[in-house]
Amino acid sequence: MAADPALLQDTGQGLHALIHEVDVIEHAIDRVRNGIGRVLGGAVGVEPDTLGGDGASLVGLVRWAGLHDVSLDEIVQMRIHGVSTDFVEALSRLGYEDLSAGALKRFRIHGVSPEFIAEMAELGHADLSTDELTRFRIHGVSPEFVREMAQVGYPDLLAGDLVRFRIHGVDADFVRELDEHGVKDLSPEGLVRMKIVGRWWH
């Protein structure tokens, strides 16, 4: 049976009006969220622009913080350093759930990103602690460094070994230099001691 054109027209107009009303409501909600974000920033003496992003994203962070017993001051500090709900959710998907506000802030300060964590996991360094990840970034343990050490015969180094290598300057070039002078297959501790003692052939 053919549909009544008048009925179809009325239905289409009704749907159009409903969609318009939904858009109006969504815009109103966004304005309220932004307003709340500005009020929250002002409550602790922080200019809205300093918070980064929009007020709505701050509201999302406040909602997360309410579930994790985080103070308003900590929320603002997190936003200043770029902690967002997207950042928190990305870390959660990698297994880093229920991180403290301090840990999240340190991640942002030192550049521990979800991408960095995922790449390190692909290289065999999964399930690192937040402190280990932060030390990696502080001391320059990068995915490139891990790959280079694997290429010269050290594919299964512990997190502590990698950090000590960076602190003392043990790198792939140093391992190759030792190899050229007949010093091979040293343990990680042996490489560090050799670096500290210095080259005897100079």
- The confidence score (pLDDT) of residue 125 equals 96
pTM over 0.75: no
192 with 171: CB under 8 angstroms?
A: no
Nearest alpha carbon to residue 170 among 190, 200, 142, 144: 190
Which residue do the tokens 């320059």 mark?
140
| Residue 68 contacts residue 40 (beta carbons within 8 Å) | no
Output the pLDDT for position 81: 83
CA distance 79 to 47: 12
User: What is the SS3 assignment for 169?
Assistant: coil
Please write down the HEC assignment for all residues of 12-63. HHHHHHHHHHHHHHHHHHHHHHHHHHHHHHHHCCCCHHHHCCCHHHHHHHHH
Instruction: Give me the residue label for tokens 């709900």.
Output: 85
pLDDT at 146: 98
Q: Kindly give, in sequence order, each residue whose CB lies less than 8 Å from that of residue 192, ignoring residues fewer than 6 positions away.
A: 164, 165, 168, 170
Spell out the per-residue pLDDT of the chain, length 202, in tens. Answer: 555 555 545 555 655 665 656 565 565 555 545 554 554 555 444 444 444 444 445 555 555 555 456 677 777 777 788 888 889 889 999 999 888 888 999 999 999 999 999 999 999 999 999 999 999 999 999 999 999 999 999 999 999 999 999 999 999 999 999 999 899 999 999 999 999 887 654 5
Which amino acid, residue 50? Answer: T
Q: What is the pLDDT of residue 95?
A: 94
pLDDT at 43: 47
CB under 8 Å to 91, separation ≥6 — which residues? 97, 99, 104, 107, 114, 117
In whole angstroms, give the CA distance from residue 159 to residue 165.
Answer: 10
Predicted confidence at residue 27, as pLDDT, reads 57
Rounded Cα–Cα distance for residues 39 and 151 (Å): 54
